Amino acid sequence: MPRKGEPGYDEFRESQALISRRRSAEGREVGPLPKVVNRARRKRCRLDLRKFCETYLAGRFPLAWCEDHLRCIGRMQTAVLEGGRFAFAMPRGSGKTSLCEAAALWAVVNGHRRFVVLIGSTSGGRRRGSRSGRTWS
């Protein structure tokens, strides 16, 4: 291995950089995407967060929506599709984290957003959010 300033150093450095870039690319490769099983179902859910939750995440949302849920879903959908932010509060155990995670998943898998960041407080409540964090892209 040549030292800096010695003949061949620049070539060696470039070859190591190429090796590093190839390894990095290989590590990010997840393989081919699976085929869409039901294109019509996917299309129906593409622009409708509520329908996405009811269709793909029904086990996570087994109860009927209340007015607060529907209002939050609407605001989340608007924020994802048109941009913006909003804050909301609901009682503990009412599905806030599940709704936020579902909206983040919907935004990413449908290509509405490349990156999603969820921010929430843990003071006075459970610290579940720190363990339920996921990386989707």
Cα 37 to Cα 17: distance, rounded to the nearest angstrom: 40
Rounded to the nearest 5 degrees, what angle is found at the Cα of 117, between the Cα atoms of 112 and 118? 115
pLDDT value at residue 129 = 47
Q: Hey, where are the domains in the chain?
A: 40-132
| pTM, to two decimals | 0.70
The tokens describing 128, both together, are 């579940």
pLDDT value at residue 121 = 72
pLDDT value at residue 132 = 53
**Three-state secondary structure call for residue 9:** helix
pLDDT value at residue 59 = 95
pLDDT value at residue 114 = 92
The low-confidence residues of the chain, meaning pLDDT below 70, are: 122-137
